[in-house]
Amino acid sequence: MKFAEMTSGRLAQVDRETTLVMLPIAAVEQHGPHLPTGTDTFICQAVAEAVERERPADVLLLPTLWLGASSHHVRFGATLTAELSTYVTTLVEIGASILGDGFRRLMFVNGHGGNIDPMRVALRELQPEYPDTILAAGCYWSPADAAIADLLEGDDKFVGHACEFETSLVMHLRPELVNVDQVGDAGPWLADQVEGLFVCRDMHQRTRAGATGRADLASAEKGRRLFDAAVGGVVRAVQVMIDEPLPE
């Protein structure tokens, strides 16, 4: 089911207890010299739509929130961002719109690293107000971490930025948007985890040109396999969230 394609009358008939409401949250921000700024939005929305196609009776898909928390990309330009407080408030208010209408299961499906901290804060704000609901959030790639690591050939066996993973996915989903002349090895980049600590740096400090990893190893065929792995992972996560008993 797609929220924005339904009338109020049809939405009123949707089962509030069993349906999982899914909000794809993404971003529009610089993705190095080779990928479009809408990369996260294109991929996250495509994954969410594929999940809805597999589980149309259980999933109520909201329109994708394209505005993300991307202040760590701003120094590279080509970035649209919300302040963290604005972003948290936006997620809380979309969530309250759904939960206030009686829905009991809400999941954020995220496609952008900068949204991870604020999406959790938003759920922390909502949970005390709606203690009889199930509130979940995760990146679309996380349930398939192991399968993704197997498919990636570069040293980075995880999702970076404008990396082997994201470049393969855009080559699969929107090949006409990839600047193939600029696809290359991003070279060394700084991690944000050091000795168990989170070290806060922006992308300008962490990368040479706003990208990480081996985009030169990307391919459309790899993108198709990564996409199927990600969709399969989110479908499994959806099932777990539907099976989860509602709190009293």
The distance of closest approach from Cβ of residue 246 to Zn ion in the complex, given in angstroms and rounded to an integer, is 33
- Of 35-43, 48-56, 83-91, 179-187, the window that binds Zn ion (rule: CB under 5 A) is 35-43
We find the least distance from the C-beta atom of residue 52 to Zn ion, in angstroms, to be 22
Q: Please state the φ and ψ torsions of residue 108, each to the nearest 5 degrees.
A: -90, 125
At how many degrees (to 10) do helices 164-173 and 39-54 cross?
70
* Shortest CB 115 distance to Zn ion, Å: 8
Query: Mask of contacts with Zn ion, 103-132, x by CB under 5 A?
Result: ---------x--------------------
Query: Of 27 and 183, which CB lies nearer to Zn ion in the complex structure?
Result: 27
The position carrying tokens 């901290």 is: 117
Other CB atoms within a 10 A radius of the CB of residue 232 amount to: 16
Residue (27 or 122) nearer to Zn ion, CB: 27
Nearer to Zn ion, 34 or 112 (CB): 112
Cite the beta strand spans of the chain per DSSP E. Answer: 20-25, 59-61, 105-110, 134-139, 193-194, 197-198
Structure tokens at 169: 């996915």
Contacts of 222 (CB under 8 A, 6+ apart): 151, 164, 168, 171, 172
- Interatomic CA distance for residues 53 and 130, integer angstroms: 29
Stretch that binds Zn ion, among 19-27, 44-52, 86-94, 219-227 (CB under 5 A): 19-27
Q: Give the range of 27-35, 80-88, 194-202, 209-217 binding Zn ion by CB under 5 A.
A: 27-35
User: What's the closest the beta carbon of residue 39 comes to Zn ion, in angstroms?
Assistant: 7
Q: Which helix (H) or strand (E) holds 242?
A: helix 220-243
Q: Choose which of 22, 23, 25, 27 interacts with Zn ion (CB under 5 A).
A: 27
Q: Does 72 bind Zn ion (CB under 5 A)?
A: no
State the residues that interact with Zn ion by CB under 5 A. Answer: 27, 40, 112
